[in-house]
A and B are shown apart, each in its own frame.
Chain A
Amino acid sequence: MYQFTYHRVDSARKASNLAEKNEDAKFLAGGMTLLPTMKQRLASPSALIDLNSASEKLAGIEVKGRNIHIGAMTRHYDVANSKDVQEAIPALADLAGMIGDPAVRHRGTIGGSVANNDPAADYPSALLALNATIHTNKRKITADEFFTGLFETALEPGELITKIVFPVPSKAAYMKFPNPASRYAMVGVFVAKKGKDVRVTVTGAGSSGVFRAGKFEAALTAKFHVKSLEGISATAEGLNSDIHADAAYRAHLIGVMARRAVNKANGK
C-alpha cells in the first residue's frame, strides 16, 4: 500500500465536497475490492474518503409503495436478511446472500459493488433486470444507462451513489454459476418479470460486463415459461474465455442458468 490521506466524513455532501477537491481521491465504502487492490499496490489513490461514518444517512432499507429503497451503504448481509426484501424481491435477498463469504457480506455494500461494476459482480445483474434507478448526490440514473462497460459506470468524478430504488417485480430469480476458484459469478443470470416487461440479464460472462440477453427476453415476453426457451441459446461471441470457462461453455451456461432461473421464478 502506498501512502494516502484518510478522510472520514459523516454525510454525502461532505464526501462529495472533498472528492471535488481531490482529483485522485476514492470513496471507501466496504473496501472489499479497493483495499486489497491498494495492498497489492495496483491502486494508489491520493486520498480515501471513508463513508462508514455516514452509514446512518446512507444505509437502510425502506419499502415505499411498489418500490424498495436501499441505501448505498447497506451491507450485503442486511439486504440478504431484510424481511422487506425477502418478502418483496426474494431473488434480490438470495443474490445478496450469495456474494462472497460471510466476512465480505458483513462489510461489503450495495453502493460500493454497483459503483465498482466488476464484470463478475452479482448486483449489476439485479439492477439491470429489475430496472432499478441509481440515485446519486446529483441525479437519478437508470440501470440501463448506468453500467457503461468493464469497471465503468455513468458516475462522474466526485459523484456518489446515495441509494438504489428497485421496483418490485411480479416474478424474479437469480441463478449463479460460481467460478470454482474465486466464487465470483462465472455466469449469473437474473430473470425478472414486471407486468409484460421481461428482462434477462447476464453477469460474469460478457467481456464488457453485465448485459441483457435479448433473445431470451423476447422468448419469455411471449410466455414466461421455461418451454419458451427451448431452442434458444446464447452466442459465444463477446463472452469471456479463460482457464475456468471458454466462451462456448459460458454461452451454454447462460442457457442453463436462464432456464433454471425461470423455473425458480415460477416456483418450480
Chain B
Amino acid sequence: MSATGVGASVRRKEDLRFITGRGQYTDDINRHGQAYAYFLRSPHAHAEINRLDTAKAAKMPGVLAIYTGDDIAADKIGGLICGWMIHSKDGSPMKAGAHPALAQGKVRYVGDHVAVIIAETLAEARDASEMIKVDYKVLPAVVDMNDAVKQGAPVIHDVSGNNTVYNWHLGDKAATDAAFAKAKHITKLDLVNNRLVPNPMEPRAAVGDYEPGTESFTLYTTSQNPHVARLVLSAFIGIAAENKLRVIAPDVGGGFGSKIFIYAEETVCVWAAKKVGRPVKWTSDRSEAFLSDAHGRDHLTHAELALDEKGKTIGLRVHTKANLGAYLSTFSSSVPTYLYAPLLSGQYDIPAIYAEVDGVYTNTAPVDAYRGAGRPEATFVVERLIEIAARETHTDPAQFRLKNFIRSFPHQTPVIMAYDVGNYQASLEKALEMSDYRNIGKRKAASAREGKLRGIGISAYIEACGIAPSAAVGSLGAGVGLWESAEVRVNPIGTVEVLTGSHSHGQGHETTFAQLVSDRLGIPIDNVSIVHGDTDKVQMGMGTYGSRSGAVGMSAIFKALDKVIAKGKKVAAYCLEASAEDIDFKDGKFSVKGTDKDIDFGSVALQAYIAHKFNGQDLEPGLKEGAFWDPTNFTFPAGVHICEVEIDPETGVTRIDRWTAVDDFGRVINPMIVEGQVHGGIGQGVGQALCEGAYYDKSGQLITASFNDYCMPRADDLPSYNVGMTQTPCPSNPLGIKGCGEAGAIAAPPAVINAITDAVGHENVAMPATPLAVWRAAQNAVARKAAE
C-alpha cells in the first residue's frame, strides 16, 4: 500500500481551503448587479388566501419586483415534483397534491411560500415584505397523524379527502399471519420515530442568473445532486431547456439529505432572474431553515415479532404511519416505503414479514430523506423489538441475536432484499469483546454504589446502500436511474482530472477519489484533481446520497480508469514497439512482458497527445475516457454498535460512558475518513436518541424553531468512540465497497434506547430520551422496585 493509495489514511486535500476560510459556498458567490430575494412566508399552518395586496410594498425603497403564485402560474412554471410513484395496496397511485413554488390560493404549513420580494438589498426586501397585506381565511389545521386521518379532519389537499397519500404494503400477509398463529411468544411494541430538523452547518442558498445574450440561465445552489436539480427544473418545472440551464453546486457545507431536494426558493430565484433582469440571491437564515428545510423521520409504528418455542424469530408485522408533511417533497414518498420496509428483516432470519405504511399529509413542513432515510426507522423497529423479545424471554440480548442472525449468503429476505454477503456474528463478537460486555455486571454494581443506573444496549443494524440498480428502483416506482458517471481526463503531462457525478459536501471525495486514481495509475496524489458539482463541466450524474458515492461513484471512476489503462497500453505498445497484449501496467509504468523495456505513465500521456508514434487512423489521439456504472445490487453495510450509559436517577441525565462500533463497510479506501463518517453518524444518531425533536403545537406553529428549543447534540454530549471494523468485501462492485456515510445515524438510536431501558429496567422510554423523559422513567422504575 502506498502512502496515498487505497487503504491509506490520507489527510483531506480539501481541508486546506475549508479550515482557512477559502471555501467557495453559494453565499460567497456574488454576481454583478445582484439583487436579493426575501420570501414572505405563511404565519398560518392552514389558510386560504382571500386577497394579496402588494401595491404598497412595491413602492417601498429598493424594491425591484414582487411575485406571487399568480405570476408563477401566468408564466406556466410547473409545480415542485415528487419523483417516486408509490401505489397503494389497492393499486391506486399515490395522491400527490399540487405543490406550487409560490402559494396559489392556499397555504398549508407555517413557512409556506406566499410571495417573493426582490430588492436592491435584503433589508429593503424584508422591509417591503412587512407592507404586503395578506387577507387570510384561517382554516383549522391538523398536525397529528392520527387526527389527520380521522373522519372530518381538515382536508389539506382536495385530491386526498382523508389526508392519506397512500396505504402501501409489502410482504406476504397470509404467511405472516400463519407465523403469528403458531407463535409461542409475541413481542409487541408501539413506538415513535421522532421528527428531526436536518440543520446542516451551511443553510440552503441560491443565486439565479440569466444571460440574455445566450438566453441561458445559471443557478448556483446548495445541492447534493446538481444534475438532478437541472433535470427537474428543466423537464418538470420548465425553467429552460437543459442546454440553457447550468446548475452549479459549489462547496456545500453539509446536506444530510436535505439538499437532495428541489425546493421553491431556488426555483423562484432562477425564474425571477430573467424576469427582473438581474441576478437574484437568496440565503436562508437559520429560522427559515427550521421552517422550510425538509424534515426527517416522523413515524408512528405498531410492530409485533413472533417467536417459536426455541426463541427463533418466525414472523414480523409492522404498521407505520409516516408523516409526509403538507406537500410531497422530491423523494419523500419512497423514504417510508421502499427505503424502509425492505430493511425490516434486519440481520435476522425472519421467514415471514408483512408491513403496511400509511403516508399522511399534515399541516407541517414536508418530510423527506434525512441521513439514513427509512433505514434508521427500520433499524429502530427491529432492534427495539429484538431487544425486548430477548428480555421478555429471559435470554441474553447478545445470545438472542446470535441465535437469530442470518448465517448463510446470499440470503433472500421476504421483503425484496437479497443480502449478498456478510458476517454478522463476527461483528457482534468483536463488539462484545471491545466493549467488555462480559463485565457489565461489575460495572453496573459499581455505578449502583454511586447511586447511578448503568445500562448497556446493542444495535445490530443493516442498511441498503449504494443505491441502486436502475432497473430495480425503476420497477419500484423511481422516476430516475441510480447509476453514476465518471470521466477521467489525462492531461498531456500525465496529471489527471476526474469529473464525477457524485457531489462532495463534507464526505472528502477530493481525497478518497484521488487516492483511487493515484493508486491505480501510480501517479502522485497531488497530480489528481476531482471536479464535481457543475453541469457544464461534468457529464450527467446522479449525485450523492444513500452512502452511494464510494460504491457507485468510485466504481464508475474505476471503470473509466480501466479504459484509460487499456488505451495507455495501446499507446505504450507503439512507443515500445511491442504488441498491446504484451504490455503490463504496474506502479505507473507500462512495460513489455519479460523485458526491461518500459515507459512511464506521464510519457505515455504525452505520446497519446502528440501522436507522433502512431497513425491517428489506427489509434485515436488523446487519453480521456468515460464510464457509467450501474450497480447489480444494493450494498449491505452492517455492523454492531454497543452503547453503555450511566444515568443519574435524581436528575434523569444520561451520560454515554462507552461506545463501541464495529462496522463492515467492505473495502475501505481511507480509514480516517471512514472513521470520521462513523463518528459524525453516531453524533447524529445520538442527537436523535437523546436531544433532538421537532414539535408543532396544535395550531401548527413550530415550537422548536430555533436552537434555543431544538436541542442539537454538542461535543460534551458525546463520548470518545471505540471504532473497529470487520470486512466482507462487497461482490457487486469492482472495489468491494459497501458505503459508510449513514451507518452511525442508523445504528445509534436503538443502541442508546436499549441501553437506557436496560438501565431503568423497563421499556417505556421514547426518543428523544431527554433528562425529563429519563427522570420519569427512572422514577417509575424506583416506584416499581419499591412495590416489589
| Nearest-CB residue, chain B, relative to A39 | B285
Does the CB pair B711–A181 fall under 8 Å?
Answer: yes
| Bound CA span A41–B126, Å | 10
Does the CB pair B772–A181 fall under 8 Å?
Answer: no
Q: Is B123 an interface residue (CB 8 A)?
A: yes
With beta carbons under 8 angstroms apart, the residue of A1, A180, A243, A245 that contacts B695 is A243
| Bound CA span A246–B651, Å | 13
Does the CB pair A243–B703 fall under 8 Å?
Answer: yes
**Secondary structure of the B contact surface, majority rule:** loop
Q: Is A252 an interface residue (CB 8 A)?
A: yes
Least CB distance from A197 to B in Å reads 28
Does the CB pair A246–B772 fall under 8 Å?
Answer: yes
Does the CB pair A256–B650 fall under 8 Å?
Answer: yes
Query: Chain B: how many interface residues by the 8 Å CB criterion?
Result: 23
Does the CB pair A1–B123 fall under 8 Å?
Answer: yes
Over the window 93-126 of chain B, the binary record of Cβ atoms lying under 8 Å from chain A Cβ atoms (1 yes, 0 no) is 0000000000000000000000000000001001
Q: Is B780 an interface residue (CB 8 A)?
A: no
Does the CB pair B691–A180 fall under 8 Å?
Answer: yes
Least CB distance from B411 to A in Å reads 41
With beta carbons under 8 angstroms apart, the residue of B126, B650, B652, B707 that contacts A181 is B707
- Give every chain B residue within 8 A of A249 (Cβ-Cβ): 652, 772, 775-776
With beta carbons under 8 angstroms apart, the residue of B287, B703, B709 that contacts A40 is B287
Least CB distance from B149 to A in Å reads 25
| Bound CA span A112–B771, Å | 30
Q: Is A268 an interface residue (CB 8 A)?
A: no
Interface residues of A in 4-42 (CB under 8 A from B): 40-41
Does the CB pair A253–B707 fall under 8 Å?
Answer: no
Least CB distance from A30 to B in Å reads 18
Q: Is A64 an interface residue (CB 8 A)?
A: no
| Bound CA span A253–B693, Å | 22
Over the window 596-637 of chain B, the binary record of Cβ atoms lying under 8 Å from chain A Cβ atoms (1 yes, 0 no) is 000000000000000000000000000000000000000000
- Give every chain B residue within 8 A of A243 (Cβ-Cβ): 693, 695, 703-704, 709
Q: Is A66 an interface residue (CB 8 A)?
A: no
| Bound CA span A162–B691, Å | 40
- Give every chain B residue within 8 A of A177 (Cβ-Cβ): 651, 771
Q: Is B770 an interface residue (CB 8 A)?
A: yes
- Give every chain A residue within 8 A of B771 (Cβ-Cβ): 177, 180, 245
Does the CB pair A182–B775 fall under 8 Å?
Answer: no
Q: Is B20 an interface residue (CB 8 A)?
A: no
Interface residues of B in 691-736 (CB under 8 A from A): 691, 693, 695, 703-704, 707-712
- Give every chain B residue within 8 A of A180 (Cβ-Cβ): 691, 711, 770-771
With beta carbons under 8 angstroms apart, the residue of A41, A181, A253, A256 that contacts B708 is A181
- Give every chain B residue within 8 A of A181 (Cβ-Cβ): 691, 704, 707-712
| Nearest-CB residue, chain A, relative to B693 | A243
| Bound CA span A87–B753, Å | 44
- Give every chain B residue within 8 A of A242 (Cβ-Cβ): 709
With beta carbons under 8 angstroms apart, the residue of A1, A2, A252 that contacts B775 is A252
- Give every chain B residue within 8 A of A182 (Cβ-Cβ): 707-709
Does the CB pair B772–A245 fall under 8 Å?
Answer: yes
Does the CB pair B770–A244 fall under 8 Å?
Answer: yes
Over the window 173-208 of chain A, the binary record of Cβ atoms lying under 8 Å from chain B Cβ atoms (1 yes, 0 no) is 000010011100000000000000000000000000
Least CB distance from B722 to A in Å reads 25
- Give every chain A residue within 8 A of B287 (Cβ-Cβ): 40
Interface residues of A in 73-129 (CB under 8 A from B): none
14 A-B interface contacts by CB (under 8 A): A1-B123, A2-B127, A40-B287, A180-B711, A181-B691, A181-B704, A181-B707, A181-B712, A242-B709, A243-B703, A244-B709, A244-B711, A245-B771, A253-B651
Residues of A within 8 A of B (CB): 1-2, 40-41, 177, 180-182, 242-246, 249, 252-253, 256
